[in-house]
Chain A
């Protein structure tokens, strides 16, 4: 990881940690949001940390498994990072679905937080094209504690 630019290290680590938290308890990633965070979820916008967490909490599935199929990170001119993730997930017993998520990250008080969150289902479903999800929930290797508490 020492050879990676800082935005790649940060972005990769953040994504790993974010999804680990989400898979365990989807309210937990709320800790990475700030009061100004806006969630754009399938064409609806939820402004603020509380509204964002509430929306995530309102999702009806109990268990989720996911597997990242693509991620990319770019530095932004304002010293922020834009992280893009394409993921396939299985919620409870539903068929596998894909989604696309954009997570811009910003360093506030030496901690990286998520200033926005954009989620879109991959409606052009590629579930048939992807290998089946692993049986175990995705558990990334230990990631640095970079989430602002």
Chain B
């Protein structure tokens, strides 16, 4: 058992390392490309918000080129036909060397008037792409470093009718969304082609058998190709239909949502399962429109009605339990957060944690745990029920003191260190938590520590108990890192079967899947939760 576990662990680690290696190589490619040199020459004078561009979990555009390049390295009999390589080259050119031109307070100026003014002063002709107004600025895109440089030189040389100087700022950026959209549909066709070929090539029986035996293989291939979707600087309407274009994008790992205009949660593509593993939503207007984080969370949490509507509202236990005449029992209140700031922080943490837990690689959760963290799992003990429980998948890790008498086994089942914890989490069934069912209690907090419990339900989504609904209560004891994110010191999980009547109600509230475009996650928080470094603990076990 241990050897298999070790092999599985090594395989998972190798996969993770592979992902990180590709990311690192792609950054080094970017650093040496001519494109990077072009950008560097402009960056010194341009008003560049590098922080906004930094998206650690979104693969940069050159990685997409890397993917195509990797395909070129495949054996000859599997290489793409020449016309597809030409298409790919065109895509490479289209994706590269884009610059955003910003005119502060440009909202005052008519588009045609402003562009004419710039044309007159610019030493080279240019074609503005996607001219639009964003907040107080007029913005458009150009493709070509020379054009961008020429436009930069226009800065301060044009004046409005009031003889006020008009500034122009130039920022390197990724291809605008309309360009991406066009390329995306082409990409999907390219990706679908290998799958179609598999089905058409009936003589390639092995391929067909492979697809039939692993229906997810085709999906996985599509998803892997679409791994790096950069939606930065996109209008919300452009995200509609995205899931239709990529029906199997549910495992898409990296989304860069920075600067995505999200006027309200309702504008985003609801109801589609686009679950990113890594997200970067810095400067998302949804974040910056509201005065504080808690309001942001409130807006997002309108998507999770139970978390909000139960706050400070009483719900009778009878309604929940279906038990009559429980007059002596306390009435059930909703989540207790203490303060809006704490609420915001904890809910962000929980949302991100369960996003990754359910839809991502649980290995990534290692970043959320302290090096010396503890985790234990408990299921109920029924001494008079010898029949195998449907919770059998959890039984081997259950550390219920009520039942477990062997002291050595007790110690073993207290998972210590994040490496061991994550290994354990990866071995638990794949789940889908119903965030709308969550009830959160923040029962202790200091300036450096948050202790909270979350109760709710989840569904197992694979294995022998697929479809089974469980109820859980999980307690986290966390400390604040120097990045003001939460680092888990203790994690105690209790899992039980949900009542049959509750099973029917789970996932019934029509909220969008808590992911992607409707989510607000600070890239810094995400980075911290993944890479929460820890100083060696002084805890002595």
Contact = CB atoms under 8 A, between A and B. Distances in A.
Interface of A: 3-5, 8, 11-12, 38, 40-45, 59-61, 68-77, 79, 82, 84, 86, 91-92, 94-95, 97, 100, 102, 104, 115-118, 120-131
Contacts of B327: 60
Contact of B473 (A8, A74, A76, A100): A100
A94 to B, nearest CB: 6
Nearest to B404: A72
Interface stretch (B187-195, B273-281, B394-402): B394-402
A19 to B, nearest CB: 12
A45 B333 CA distance: 11
Given A59-B330, A70-B380, A92-B328, A102 B453 contact: yes
B471 interface: yes
Given A73-B401, A77-B538, A116-B444, A129 B494 contact: no
Contact of A72 (B333, B334, B399): B399
Contact of B378 (A70, A97, A124): A70
Contact of B381 (A3, A59, A70, A95): A70
A121 B498 contact: no
A3 B538 CA distance: 23
Contacts of B443: 38, 40, 45, 102, 116-118
Contacts of B439: 43, 120
Contacts of A77: 370, 372, 479, 489, 537-539
A45 B336 contact: yes
Nearest to A1: B407
A72 B401 contact: yes
Interface of B: 310, 317, 320-323, 325-336, 338, 370, 372, 374, 376, 378-385, 399-402, 407-408, 410-411, 414, 439, 441-444, 451, 453, 455, 457, 471, 473, 475, 477, 479, 489-490, 492, 494, 496-499, 502, 537-539, 541
Contacts of A122: 471, 496
Nearest to A131: B384
Centre residue among A71, A72, A73 by max chain B CB count within 10 A: A72
A18 to B, nearest CB: 14
Contacts of A115: 444
Given A44-B336, A71-B402, A84-B378, A59 B328 contact: yes
Given A77-B370, A127-B323, 6 more contacts: A42-B333, A43-B335, A74-B492, A94-B326, A97-B321, A124-B502
Contacts of B499: 124-126, 128
Contacts of A79: 539
Nearest to A129: B497
A137 B310 CA distance: 35
Centre residue among A92, A104, A115, A120 by max chain B CB count within 10 A: A120
Nearest to B449: A78
Given A97-B326, A125-B321, A43 B441 contact: yes
15 contacts: A3-B407, A5-B411, A11-B401, A73-B401, A74-B414, A76-B539, A77-B372, A77-B537, A82-B475, A86-B378, A100-B453, A102-B475, A116-B444, A121-B321, A124-B498
A102 B380 CA distance: 16
Centre residue among B320, B329, B442 by max chain A CB count within 10 A: B329
A131 B451 contact: no
Contacts of B496: 86, 122, 124, 126
Contact of B329 (A117, A121, A128): A121
B380 A69 contact: yes
A86 B414 CA distance: 18
A72 B475 CA distance: 11
A47 to B, nearest CB: 11
B383 A60 contact: no
Given A70-B378, A97-B326, A123-B320, A131 B385 contact: yes
A121 B332 contact: yes
A64 to B, nearest CB: 10
A95 B317 contact: no
B407 to A, nearest CB: 4
A42 to B, nearest CB: 5
A104 B439 CA distance: 20
A45 B312 CA distance: 11
Contact of B338 (A45, A70, A120, A127): A45
A131 to B, nearest CB: 4
Contacts of B539: 75-77, 79
B325 A94 contact: yes
A117 B444 CA distance: 9
Nearest to A11: B401
A97 B444 contact: no
Nearest to A73: B401
Contact of A124 (B332, B374, B457, B475): B457
A148 to B, nearest CB: 19
A86 B541 contact: no
A94 B318 CA distance: 12
Contacts of A68: 402
